[in-house]
Amino acid sequence: MKPLDTTTATRARMSRQKSRDTQVEVALRKALHAAGLRYRVHRRPVPAVRREADIVFVGAKVAVFVDGCFWHGCPEHATWPRNNAEFWRTKIEGNRQRDIDTDSRLAEAGWLPVRVWEHEAVDVAAERVRAAVDSRRTR
């Protein structure tokens, strides 16, 4: 098998992976809404930057990204597949680099990027996001 070849079963399994409105993302949005925060969902914080945040607080300029442990290479839970190892390492490392680039571009535009890992407790993550939004609103 060449590095980019995948099996039919792998392609089918990966195509079923949700990229938006995941369980964690919806739970976080519910917690933020219950805390009285209002936001936009799946928007580009900076139109010129082709990156979409999961939750956007326009007035406070806070962009929240809910990152999956596998896809973004979580330091606690990342797994490195043995099949197509080179392909997956390149893919995940590319995602990490894009995340760093996104955070940098948003910061340059005056935005505060907040990253939430999918394994984080929703109440803890919601409090972290709320604190970030509040800190930006009082400036």
- The answer to whether residue 102 is domain-embedded is yes
pLDDT of residue 1: 46
- The answer to whether residue 31 is domain-embedded is yes
CATH code for position 60: 3.40.960.10
Per-residue pLDDT 10s for the chain (139 aa) are 454 556 676 566 655 565 688 999 999 999 999 999 999 999 999 999 999 999 999 999 999 999 999 999 999 988 888 888 999 999 999 999 999 999 999 999 999 999 999 999 999 999 999 999 999 986 5
- The answer to whether residue 11 is domain-embedded is no
Backbone angles phi, psi at 50, to 5 degrees: -80, 60
pLDDT of residue 8: 72
- The answer to whether residue 27 is domain-embedded is yes
Q: How many domains does the chain have?
A: 1
**Which structural domain range is residue 55 located in?**
17-137
- The answer to whether residue 131 is domain-embedded is yes
Closest CA to 64 of 24, 14, 4: 24
Element (H, E) at 5: none
- The answer to whether residue 126 is domain-embedded is yes
